[in-house]
């Protein structure tokens, strides 16, 4: 996931501002199992991080995203709580980021993955009045294992390259056109109970939580309100 600063929302006739995913789930740092201050999703757990992700094993990857927990089934598909700012109606949406990765091959430098990331937006009444309905931005992502990031107790550090998938994107261009391509680093802790905890590689801040099955992994960020 990416630290987004969005350009003008041309098609809706207004400007967009967005609290990036880092700020949306900050508070917990990825410095090892059971550590860090309390925060939003991904806070320190008592797991020892000894899931199946150690050492880049798994090769070409028989594990697929079909084996993962359906995190999106728990999403609140409404704009409840995101209708106004200090009592004043304002265009906006309830926002989630969801991503999933499955292993592809074991490269010279470590494991590789492919997958998608989605920015899921449930539009409020005022944004719908401008002609924008619920929508999704989808990026196709490639990832590869890299040297350890800020999380000393994580199982994987990965470098991600993302490209917007126009065929699976329904949000106005102004929301994503300046971030049609991006690169970012994540740290991931795989717990023995099948859950996964995700951190931003550069800062160590919490990003989200999810599940894993072998080397297939997914994540979901905390619900936030965004305004346009």
Residue 42's pLDDT band (cuts 50, 70, 90) = very low
- Tell me which residue has tokens 């207004």: 14
| 38 burial via Cβ count (<10 Å: 0-12, 13-18, 19+) | exposed
What one-character-per-residue DSSP string does 155-222 give? SEEEEEEEEE-GGG--S-GGGTGGGSEEEEEEEEEE-TTSEEEEEETTT-BEEEEEEEETTEEEEEPP
| Mean pLDDT, rounded, for 153-157 | 91
The answer, yes or no, to whether residue 8 has pLDDT greater than 70, is no
Report the distance separating Cα 181 and Cα 142, nearest Å. Answer: 12
Burial 19-30 (b: 16+ CB within 10 A, else e): ebbbebbbebbb
Determine the pLDDT at residue 3: 38
| Residue 14 contacts residue 228 (beta carbons within 8 Å) | yes
pTM for the full predicted model: 0.75
Residue 6's pLDDT band (cuts 50, 70, 90) = very low
Q: Which residues fall within 8 angstroms of residue 201, CB to CB, at 6 or more apart?
A: 149, 150, 151, 157, 158, 159, 184, 185, 186, 187
Domain layout of the chain by residue ranges: 8-43+51-82+90-227
| Residue 188 contacts residue 209 (beta carbons within 8 Å) | no
Determine the pLDDT at residue 110: 84
Report the distance separating Cα 132 and Cα 123, nearest Å. Answer: 7
| 25: enclosing H helix or E strand | none
Determine the pLDDT at residue 50: 39
The answer, yes or no, to whether residue 26 has pLDDT greater than 90, is no
The answer, yes or no, to whether residue 4 has pLDDT greater than 60, is no
Report the distance separating Cα 170 and Cα 149, nearest Å. Answer: 33
Pairing of strands 206-213, 84-85: unpaired
Nearest alpha carbon to residue 55 among 114, 104, 115, 106: 106
User: Would you state the structure tokens that stand for residue 111, as one six-digit string?
Assistant: 């494991």
């Amino acid at each position: 996931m990416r630290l987004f600063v969005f350009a003008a929302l041309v098609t809706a006739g207004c400007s967009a501002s967005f609290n990036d995913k880092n700020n949306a789930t900050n508070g917990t740092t990825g410095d090892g199992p059971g550590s860090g201050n309390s925060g939003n999703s991904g806070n320190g757990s008592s797991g020892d991080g000894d899931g199946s992700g150690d050492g880049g094993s798994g090769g070409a990857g028989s594990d697929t995203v079909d084996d993962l927990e359906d995190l999106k089934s728990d999403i609140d598909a409404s704009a409840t709580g995101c209708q106004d700012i200090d009592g004043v109606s304002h265009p906006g949406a309830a926002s989630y980021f969801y991503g999933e990765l499955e292993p592809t091959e074991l490269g010279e430098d470590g494991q590789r993955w492919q997958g998608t990331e989605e920015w899921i937006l449930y539009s409020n009444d005022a944004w719908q009045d401008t002609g924008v309905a619920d929508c999704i931005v989808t990026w196709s992502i490639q990832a590869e294992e890299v040297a350890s990031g800020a999380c000393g107790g994580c199982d994987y550090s990965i470098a991600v390259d993302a490209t917007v998938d126009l065929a699976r994107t329904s949000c106005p261009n102004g929301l994503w056109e300046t971030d049609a391509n991006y690169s970012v680093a994540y740290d991931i802790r795989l717990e023995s109970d099948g859950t996964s905890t995700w951190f931003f590689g550069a800062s160590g801040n919490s990003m989200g939580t999810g599940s894993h099955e072998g080397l297939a992994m997914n994540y979901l960020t905390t619900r936030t309100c965004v305004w346009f």
